[in-house]
Chain A
Amino acid sequence: GAGVSQSPSNKVTEKGKDVELRCDPISGHTALYWYRQSLGQGLEFLIYFQGNSAPDKSGLPSDRFSAERTGGSVSTLTIQRTQQEDSAVYLCASSTRGVRTSGRSDTQYFGPGTRLTVL
């Protein structure tokens, strides 16, 4: 079946502009995650959506970052007033249910990412 898809694949913007990044999770997956990966850095958690629950926003680096998930499917990550340090690959992942009743986490499957360059 289709995997996680993200758009655009590449985005170049000027400092101070707003950008929107889109993620389409695997059909049927109720959990959706955003991460970012800066050059030479590991993956950094940003935000997590699970069903209709309030999202876990604990990883968002500043209030310029926000995300929403409409209809429990597609998600949009918005970065306002972009800065050069926002340049990174933004990765979206989805999983079946998130955390099981056992406390174990479902596997997360990653999309191809959006490479954001802020000039």
Chain B
Amino acid sequence: DARVTQTPRHKVTEMGQEVTMRCQPILGHNTVFWYRQTMMQGLELLAYFRNRAPLDDSGMPKDRFSAEMPDATLATLKIQPSEPRDSAVYFCASGLGRQTQYFGPGTRLLVL
């Protein structure tokens, strides 16, 4: 039963600290997405990779957020420095296109 995995599941940190979230996409999937879920905005797309190349990161605050895919089995989302307004649930999803995406369980981030 192939699944997208995300670590950590929960993260509490202090403002100004670096946060790194990791995602292992489903083997064979060529697209990876990072989303942020907030109460007011629903699911916001932060970044989108196809074949490990970033295609769209327009939804991501460039000054503090960065997303990478060091290899086909790992995607990372980093926030440096973190701020309280970054508190949210961050989801990774993978797929073979955009039409059907398989989501991971999410990382719940709290920045104090």
A binds B: no
Interface residues of A, Cβ cutoff 8 Å to B: none
Interface residues of B, Cβ cutoff 8 Å to A: none
